[in-house]
Structure 1
Amino acid sequence: MKKIGLVGGISWVSTMDYYKFINEGINLKLGGLNFAECIIYSLNFEDIQVKSWENCFELLLNACGKLKSSNVDAIALCANTAHLFADKLQEEIKLPIIHISTETAKAVKKQGLKKVGLLGTKFTMEMEFYRKKLEENGLEVLIPEKQETRDYIQYTVKEELGRGIANSNTKENYIRIVNELVDSGAEGIILGCSEIPLLINQKDFITPIFDTTKIHSEAIVEFILS
């Protein structure tokens, strides 16, 4: 097996999911008492918030450097928004970074879909770094049209889901937001924030839902066993 380095703590809630899904995936493939050999560098999420994501390259680079010094074979950033710097980090550390939006695009294309709705942090929805990877794979990407809706998602991801709080009112609002994207033509919905699956999942919708945490974790398992 290959050794994987995980940059976590962004947030700790979804990092637990990554650890669970990866180890379950390895055991499903190999059986017995086989689990992943991995090292987690868990960042302090408050440091990210103080600096803001746009200014966090050095924090992420330091984490990746520590993992590289532990002789990992590849790195996974356990947050969609952290992929703002994925290409630059890979270039700096000279190790593969398993890219979440590339793997998500593969999963969407397997279902033959062309147009998807994207929910995530404001950075993930509004900046090019995430949507560009999807578009390079032939996908049309829709995000919530209203600024106030995107601001609401940002607030609830940061102040509720990032703390492990799943509010029933918030869930109703997210379901409404998803349905608005579907009404606008989205054939599937990407949950492009690793905390959003704490609130909504495929059981809440007929439309295909793409849980990026699970998709990313499956890709990490494939790498470990490759």
Structure 2
Amino acid sequence: MRTIGLIGGMSWESTAVYYRQINENVRTRLGGLASAKIAMQSLDFAEVVALQKSDRWDEAAALLSDAARRLERAGADCILICTNTMHLVADAVATAVSVPLIDIRHETGRTLAAAGKKRPLLLATRYTMEHGFYADYMRAEFNIEVVVPNEIDRAKVHSVIFDELCCGIVKDDSRQALEKIIQRGMDAGADSVILGCTEICLSLTDDNVALPAFDSTTIHSNAAVAHALGMDFKSEQNAV
């Protein structure tokens, strides 16, 4: 079994989901007391958020690249950035190490493509929805046109993520607000929804969304397990 390297802590709420999902998946596949070989660098999210807010992405790239190198030295055979937003610096992190970076955008994109989805609504942080690195990647790699909510809805999604979910707070009224945003996306022509922040799965499930939902956290975790076990990645199985 290969060792999975996780750059976590952004936030630790979603990193805990990664740890649980990866280990549950390995146990399901191998049985008994099997669990994943994992190395982790858990960052101080407050430090990362300060860099995001001040638009210091070069410094953020250096911080995550250093974490990736530490994981490689610790024996990691692949690297995961356990957050969608920080894939804004994924290219820099990938070039900092010799082991593969498993990119959440790529795994989510090919899962969408396998399901025949062309216009997914993206629910994520403001950085992910507005900076273009996510939508541009999907368009270039998979000919998928990502749809984002309107400005008011983007602000609401961002607030729910940072002010609530990243703090472990899950509110029914916020879940209902996200459901309404998804409904508006469907009305505007979206054919699916990307849960494009790794904390959103704490609030939304397939029982409360109007569109076929693709949980980026689950997709990313499954891809890590597939790599660790040397298996073919079955992307079509990762839709919520």
- TM-score past 0.5 threshold: yes
Structure 1 position 92, deviation (Å) = 2.0
**Residues 1-226 of structure 1 correspond to what in structure 2 (within 5 A)?**
1-52=1-52, 54-55=55-56, 56-136=60-140, 137-145=142-150, 147-226=151-230
Moved over 6 A (4+): none
Structure 2 spans left out of the alignment, 5+ residues: 231-240
CA apart distance, 1:161:
0.5
Q: Give the distance between the partners of 1:188 and 1:156, measured in 2 at CA.
A: 20
Q: In the comparison of the two structures, how many residue pairs are matched?
A: 225
Deviates more, 1:101-110 or 1:12-21: 101-110
TM-score by length of 1: 0.96
Structure 1 residues without counterparts, runs of 5 or longer = none
Q: Secondary structure at the match of 2:99?
A: coil
1:75 counterpart SS class? strand
Local SS of the residue matching 2:2: coil
State the distance in 2 between where 1:219 and 1:195 align: 18
Structure 1 residue 125: Cα displacement: 0.5
Distance in 2 (alpha carbons) for counterparts of 1:37 and 1:173: 38
Tell me the TM-score normalized by structure 2: 0.90
- Look up the SS of the partner of 2:197 in the other structure: coil
**Separation in 2 of the partners of 1:167 and 1:33?**
35
For residue 206 of structure 1, report the CA deviation from its aligned partner: 4.1
Are the equivalent residues in 1 in contact too, given 2:186–2:210 (CA < 8 A)?
no
| Conserved? CA contact 2:87–2:103, under 8 Å | yes
Displacement of 1:148 in angstroms is: 2.3
